[in-house]
């Protein structure tokens, strides 16, 4: 048989709550001016702290903006220099969490890869724990690993890393920022001699490219694919586009090498007409 429920505890609690509330109201009613001043002071203090934090954050962002502009200028004029590396390393050293440090090291590895500092790039990548990276940065991590091996001439190692991290590449291809992985996949196919498939990847990457530097990377490889498949005029056109979009000293150097290859092919094919085509 169920025992009847007792409300005695609830009644006692309600009584004490009403008593405490009455006492608080009574105390406050006698201290209204003091309470108002405290609220006013607290509001001013909170607003001051908010503005100071906003100014500090704004100053930090402005400093980052100046550093980013300086980095772009260095990459365009000189390439990877001790000054550039010190800026990026300083950001990594200021990181407060393992995740922030891993993200900053990934940026450093990216610059080292572009600057053809392959051994140093591999050292930095080996120091990164991919588990500390966000999902999109994990995709970038493996992308840099594959691409750097390709640029270092180790196609076999690049293929092994790609096969072991294919999940990240397949996932990255679905993003709006798919250009880097599509470009790397194209470079991998190009290194293995499948120029048609490589051209397809570079064409897709170009569609996702944002900024001159990204477009230049795609256009240079497209020019090479056209050259390998005998379409000289297409190769010349892509090389001209790449020359207009070149944003770093490394891209300009690569275009010079591409120019020489194309000029040699153009000379061989223009003997009958006696005309020469300007390459870039």
pLDDT in tens, 34-46: 555 555 655 666 6
Rounded-to-integer distance, Cα 244 and Cα 1, Å = 91
Which tokens is 190 given? 């190009």
State the pLDDT at residue 272: 53
Q: Is 17 a residue whose pLDDT tops 80? A: no
Residue 273: pLDDT over 60: no
Q: What is the model's pLDDT at position 280?
A: 52
3-state class of 104 per DSSP?
helix
Whether residue 185 contacts residue 203, with contact meaning beta carbons closer than 8 Å, is answered with no
Residue 218: both structure tokens together: 């795609």
CA distance 65 to 197: 39
Contacts (Cβ under 8 Å, ≥6 apart) of 35: 28
Task: Give alpha helix (H) positions in 117-231.
Answer: 118-127, 135-151, 155-164, 166-172, 179-191, 195-208, 212-228
Within 10 angstroms of residue 247's Cβ, the number of other Cβ atoms is: 17
Better-scored residue on pLDDT, 45 or 109: 109
pLDDT digits (tens, 9 = 90+) for 195-236: 999 999 999 999 999 889 899 999 999 999 999 998 999 999
Mean pLDDT across 115-126 = 89
**C-alpha R_g of the chain:** 31
Tell me how crowded residue 14 is: count the other CB atoms within 10 A of its CB: 11
Total length of the chain = 280
Task: Give the pLDDT score at 45.
Answer: 65
Q: Which range has the top average pLDDT, 74-88, 94-108, 223-237, 261-275?
A: 223-237
φ and ψ of 192, to 5 deg: -90, 0
Q: Is the pLDDT of residue 141 over 90?
A: yes
Q: Round the average pLDDT of the chain to a whole number and report it.
A: 81
Residues 250/79, Cβ–Cβ less than 8 Å? yes
Distance of CA 91 to the CA centre of its chain: 15
Residue 85 has pLDDT above 80, yes or no: no
Closest CA to 226 of 238, 217, 211: 238
For residue 129, what is the enclosing H or E element? none
- ∠ Cα 116 246 193 (to 5°): 60
Distance, in Å, from the CA atom of 105 to the CA atom of 129, rounded to the nearest integer, reads 10
| Average pLDDT rounded to a whole number, residues 128-150 | 91
Q: What sign does the dihedral 56-59-63-69 (CA atoms) show? A: positive
Rounded Cα gap, residues 124 and 84, in angstroms: 16
| Alpha carbon distance 220, 150 (integer Å) | 16
Mean pLDDT value across residues 51-67 = 75
């Amino acid at each position: 048989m169920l025992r009847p429920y007792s409300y005695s505890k609830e009644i006692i609690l309600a009584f004490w709550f009403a008593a405490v509330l009455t006492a608080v109201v009574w105390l406050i009613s006698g201290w209204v001016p003091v309470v108002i001043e405290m609220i006013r002071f607290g509001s001013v203090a909170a607003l001051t702290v908010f503005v100071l934090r906003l100014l500090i954050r704004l100053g930090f962002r402005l400093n980052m903006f100046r550093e980013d502009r300086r980095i772009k200028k260095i990459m365009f004029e000189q390439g990877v220099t001790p000054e550039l590396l010190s800026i990026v390393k300083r950001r990594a050293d200021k990181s407060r969490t393992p995740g922030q440090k891993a993200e900053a090291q990934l940026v450093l590895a990216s610059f080292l890869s572009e600057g053809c500092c392959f051994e140093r790039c591999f050292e930095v990548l080996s120091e990164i724990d991919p588990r500390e990276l966000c999902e999109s940065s994990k995709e970038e991590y493996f992308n840099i690993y594959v691409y750097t091996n390709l640029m270092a001439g180790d196609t076999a190692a690049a293929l092994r890393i790609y096969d072991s991290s294919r999940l990240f590449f397949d996932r990255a291809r679905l993003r709006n920022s798919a250009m880097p992985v599509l470009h790397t996949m194209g470079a991998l196919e190009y290194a293995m001699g499948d120029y048609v498939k490589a051209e397809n990847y570079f064409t897709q990457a170009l569609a996702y490219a944002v900024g001159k530097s990204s477009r230049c990377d795609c256009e240079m490889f497209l020019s090479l694919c056209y050259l390998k498949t005998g379409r000289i005029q297409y190769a010349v056109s892509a090389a001209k586009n790449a020359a207009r979009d070149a944003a770093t000293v490394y891209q300009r150097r690569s275009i010079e090498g591409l120019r020489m290859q194309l000029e040699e092919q153009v000379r061989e094919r223009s003997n009958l007409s006696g005309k020469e085509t300007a390459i870039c």
